[in-house]
Structure 1
Amino acid sequence: MWLRRGARAEESEPYWRQRSWQWSAGFLGIAVVVGGLLALTSPGTEDAGADPARRPAGSGPLAGSAALKDGERPGGCATDDRAGDRLPEAAPKDLKWREIGIGRVPVSASAGPTRFQDEVWWCFAHTPMGAALAATVIPTQMSEPGWRTVTEQQLVPGDGREMFTFMRSQSPDRARRTDATPASTYVGVSVLAYTREAATVSLLIKGDQGFVATSVEVRWSGGDWKVQAGGDGSLYTEVSAVQDTNSYLLWGR
């Protein structure tokens, strides 16, 4: 995460010493808070020719989707949108957990993502629940080697995406531990604002020190929900402690 507050006081320091960048390098995909989805250890030893990060970004399933007309969805995408604009009162009955790296994220056969192609998990319901799942799943993929493809196809085009790409590319990919145990996990969401075109979603996370929350902005673009990066490249707002979780919809386990 690139924090949107307090940045001016740090501008004179090298980026790797700035507190916001230190959070960013370890927090991609809420990695610092969610128990090491990005476990940065020793330099990577994978064959660069097989590195998903170097795969052409335009080769994913949403390439060219920005040209779709209003109401159209990418080929093969179908979701249950009968909930309309009603805010969810419970987690989807078909909710399951899938692994991304060493972490887990909630997915739903009805609300999304319903389609999976390599690192691009896509096709979210055009509902508040679909927006909530997109806000959870898409940023988490940024801790993975295929982040460039996800960025190109699942972040809203613009200056924010360009800044995110630049900042993320400054963080070297490293070999990830396979024995890491997440110390924190997603436990719920709250849809703070919703229209058919945009939503603000607060993610509730539980760690060793209690509950914290951060928010993600998503936009309906090219027939699916995509994350809106801030002008400084941030995908999340600043993390804050949460004492009362009653305003959150809990995923359950």
Structure 2
Amino acid sequence: MGIFKRGEQRSEESGPYWKQRSWQASAVFLALVVVLGVIATLTSGSGSGDRAKAPVSKGPLSGTVTKKDGRPGGCRTDDSAGDAIPTSVPKDITWHTLGIGRVPVSASAGPTKFQGSVWWCFAHTPMGSVLAATVIPTQMSGSDWRTVTDQQVVAGQGRRLFEFQRTAVPDTDSSGSTPVTSSYAGFQVASYTGGAATIRLLIKNDQGYAKTSVSVRWSGGDWKVQPDGSGGLYSQLATEQSAVGYTLWGV
């Protein structure tokens, strides 16, 4: 995956993703099955069938009229940090269960609006992009993934490929799910402009650390996940030697 530098790629585990120790240990990232290896499912003859025709629920961003500031109606965030890259986490961070994992939520940086599985309204700042990159993809393993995709993934060929691949994978909701053995430990803002950002996510599990990256784009007055050309929402999951260089959540 091009998102990592050449030196970082050396730490990636080889072999099918479902046999990689770091992937198996990261229950929070069950949604990665959607984007890192669904080709195995698709080529095994398990088609999407009628699941591809399932209706998309109307979400809070459907047909939303933006105001003069370009934000959807009712969306308010603290954007006073501007483009400054965060070196610490917001003091108002709280942790909420989402699917089978826990995600950080900030009353100032977002998400500040919640409707079903669509958690939205992120600050137009680097911290807002970090929270969007953490929260939105975590929703993709549950049964409401279509609505989240429609509302919070940038439209285009990448999204269409993601939707096609995702229909071949069973939904994994919180009921009866594997106990969480990993958690979000920290982040790096790899790149940022007012219109796009790439965020590295640090995951802590029983074996140590793993990392992945998520790209987001400012679209329709909020941050949305930008899939890659193959429909992936994450870059290849890789082992990480330490937390040096990351801003830690402190949990």
Distance between the aligned counterparts of 1:36 and 1:200, measured in 2?
20
1:80 match: 78
What code does the residue aligned with 2:82 have? G
Alignment of 1:61 with 2:53, yes or no, is no
Provide closer, same or farther for how the CA distance between residues 129 and 182 of structure 1 changes in structure 2, counting only shifts above 3 A. Answer: same
d(CA) in 2 for partners of 1:125 and 1:150? Answer: 18
**Superposed displacement of residue 181, structure 1:** 2.0
Q: Distance in 2 between matches of 1:104 and 1:199?
A: 22
Which residues in structure 2 correspond to 1:30-45 (within 5 Å)?
32-35=24-27, 38=30
3-state SS of 1:172 partner: coil
Give 2:16's aligned residue.
Answer: 19
- Output the amino acid matched with 1:63: S
| Partner secondary structure for residue 183 of structure 1 | coil
Q: Distance in 1 between matches of 2:208 and 2:70?
A: 42
- Residues 111 and 124 in structure 1, CA contact (< 8 A), matched pair in contact too: yes
What does residue 138 of structure 1 align with? Answer: 136
Report the Cα distance in structure 1 between the residues aligned to 2:103 and 2:69, rounded to whole angstroms: 28
1: CA distance, partners of 2:173 / 2:249 = 31
Instruction: Give 1:31 deviation, angstroms.
Output: 7.9
- Per the alignment, in what secondary structure is the counterpart of residue 178 of structure 1? coil
Q: Provide the C-alpha distance between the structure 1 equivalents of 2:154 and 2:24, rounded to a whole number of angstroms.
A: 24
8 A contact 1:31–1:143 mirrored in 2: no
Residue identity matched to 2:27: G
Is the Cα–Cα contact under 8 Å of residues 4 and 234 in structure 1 kept in the other structure?
no
Aligned residue for 2:166, secondary structure, equals helix
Residues 64-111 of structure 1 show CA distances to partners (whole Å, capped at 9, x for unaligned) of 35x758841111100000000000011110000011122100110000
Give distance in 2, aligned partners of 1:216 and 1:240.
13
In the alignment, what sits opposite 2:104?
106
Deviations 1:11-44, CA, capped at 9 Å, x for gaps: xxxxxxx936x58xx9xxx98553256499xxxx
Partners of 1:157 and 1:143 lie apart in 2 by 19
* Structure 1 residues not aligned, in runs of 5+: 6-17, 41-50
Aligned to 1:170: 168
Partner Cα distance (2:118, 2:73) in 1:
14
**TM-score of the superposition, structure 1-length normalised?**
0.78
Query: How many aligned residue pairs are there?
Result: 220
Contact kept? 2:94, 2:106, Cα under 8 Å:
yes
Asked whether the 8 Å contact 2:99–2:138 carries over to 1, the reply is no
SS across alignment from 2:133: helix
Unaligned runs of 5+ in 2: 4-14, 34-50
Computed over aligned residues only, the root mean square deviation of the Cα atoms, in angstroms, reads: 2.9
Name the residue aligned to 1:202: 200
Instruction: Quote how far apart the aligned CAs of 1:54 are.
Output: 4.4
Give how far 1:173 is off: 2.6
Distance in 2 between the 1:19 and 1:179 partners? 22
Q: Displaced runs of 4+ in structure 1, greater than 6 A?
A: none
Task: State the identity %.
Answer: 53
Contact 1:70 1:223 (8 Å CA) reproduced: no
Do the aligned partners of 1:84 and 1:127 also contact (CA within 8 Å) in 2?
yes
TM-aligned CA deviation for residue 160 of structure 1:
0.3
Q: Which residue of 1 aligns with 2:10?
A: none
Alpha-carbon distance in structure 1 between the residues aligned to 2:233 and 2:162 = 8
Q: Which amino acid aligns with 1:136?
A: T
User: So what's the TM-score if we normalise by structure 2?
Assistant: 0.79
| TM-aligned CA distance change 1:179 to 1:196, over 3 Å | closer
* Residue number among 154, 157, 182 corresponding to 1:156 in the alignment: 154
TM-superposed deviation, 1:171: 0.9
